[in-house]
Every structure is written in structure tokens, then in C-alpha cells.
Homo-oligomer: A and B are copies of this chain.
Amino acid sequence: MSDESGPTDNLAALIEANKHYSKTFDQSELQPAPTKHFAILTCMDARMDPYKFAGLMDGEAHILRNAGGRATEDAIRSLIISHKFLGTLEWFVIHHTNCGMTLVTDEKIGDLLEEDLETAVFDGETWINPARDASDNRKSGSDAGKSMAWHTFTDLNQSVLTDMETIKNHPLVPSHIKVYGFIFDVKTGKLTPVVR
């Protein structure tokens, strides 16, 4: 037996888990503004829980997550809202080791998606699309991925530094906001500061 679940299980399990959660819910007095006045921007990666690795309680901080923890336009939109309406003054940019975004390039993503939308497999060296026989008529790929920015990167330290700069240099980010950079190690749970 494995710990993996299929699609039909997940919806029911989530609803059931939430029933239990709401029965003992005691956070109704929390206010929208984070009490610690900070926000964390990190990756969507399943192995990282910012509440745990940063020792946070409910109500203390904004958590922003996307593929890579990158300072995309949308992440910056969210950070500006976080400061302008909810008073955060410090932002932590946290990328992590073994990130999928370092194992592929923007160009490769565009090529793979043009051929096929199904989940690719990593053959040890590169990503390849799943095999298809001639009778398979599922929806095929699209070239829409060629014109998208996928925000892949190769150097982990550099990606954190680049994102910190992107944030600091944005015209809507006040100069007194503090921006910190860290790398989370998925093998040790440890955060290491990134400094220029």
C-alpha cells in the first residue's frame, strides 16, 4: 500500500478534515493585519511549511507562494497590498534547494507544452513527454507556453538576490521596507541567509 490517494478521495478527505478543524476552531478573534508585520514569499513546494520552518502562529504573517517563490509581478502586487493595506514592513524571500525550477529552462517548458500537456517525466538528464500511441486522441499541446515567462533559474543564491533587487527597485515599494533573503534546505530544514 502507498500513501498516495486518487482524485475522488481528495475532495471527500479535504471536506472531512475541514469539518474536524472547524469544530475546534478558536481563531475567530484574529484580525486581518499580520501581528508581526511581515510577509514571506516562498515556493509552492510540498515539502516546505512556512508556519513550521519560521515558527509562526496563525495571524502573525502573510504567506505568498508561487512556483519558485519568485518576485513576479503578481508577487509584488501582493506585497504592495500587504504593506499598503495591512501594514507589513519586512518581507522575506525564501527559495529552496532541489527546486524543480532549476531542472528545466523556459525554452524547454515551451517546447514540452507545445507537444503535450500531460505530466512529463524526468529521465535522469532531461524532461520528456509521456509516450503516446496513435489511438490516443486526448487534447494535445499548445504553443501558448512559448510566450509565457516561466521564471526558471539556475543559480539559487542569484535567484534570491535578483528577486530581492526586483522588489527593492519597484517604484511602488517604499525605501524603508526591509527585504531579507534566505535559502531553505529541504534535506535539513535549515534556513541560510543570502547576502550580497
- Give the B-binding residues of A (Cβ under 8 A): 3-7, 10-11, 13-18, 20-22, 25, 27-28, 30, 32-39, 44-49, 51-56, 58-67, 72-75, 77-78, 80-87, 89-90, 92, 98, 100-101, 103-104, 109, 112-113, 117-120, 122, 127, 138-139, 142, 144-145, 148-151, 170-176, 178, 180, 186-191, 193
Q: Which of B3, B14, B35, B178 contacts A92 (CB 8 A)?
A: B14
Contact residues in B for A92 (Cβ distance below 8 Å)? 14
Q: For residue A55, give the distance in angstroms from its CB to the closest CB of chain B.
A: 2
Across the A-B interface, the 7 shortest Cβ-Cβ residue pairs: A17-B55, A25-B189, A74-B74, A67-B78, A22-B189, A34-B46, A22-B190
The answer to whether B37 and A5 touch across the interface, beta carbons within 8 angstroms, is yes
Complex CA–CA separation, A120 to B54 (angstroms): 28
The number of times this chain is found in the oligomer is: 2
Contact residues in B for A45 (Cβ distance below 8 Å)? 32, 62
Which of A47, A48, A62, A190 has the largest number of chain B CB atoms within 10 A?
A47
Given A44-B78, A46-B58, A52-B21, also A138-B10 (CB < 8 A): no
Complex CA–CA separation, A144 to B80 (angstroms): 12
Complex CA–CA separation, A151 to B80 (angstroms): 13
Given A22-B190, A189-B27, also A81-B174 (CB < 8 A): no
Q: Which of B10, B84, B101 contacts A90 (CB 8 A)?
A: B10
Contact residues in B for A7 (Cβ distance below 8 Å)? 37, 89-90, 178
The answer to whether A109 and B82 touch across the interface, beta carbons within 8 angstroms, is no
Q: Which of B11, B53, B127 contacts A18 (CB 8 A)?
A: B53
Q: For residue A87, give the distance in angstroms from its CB to the closest CB of chain B.
A: 5
Q: For residue A132, give the distance in angstroms from its CB to the closest CB of chain B.
A: 13
Q: Which of B13, B39, B190 contacts A55 (CB 8 A)?
A: B13
Q: Which of B17, B64, B145 contacts A54 (CB 8 A)?
A: B17
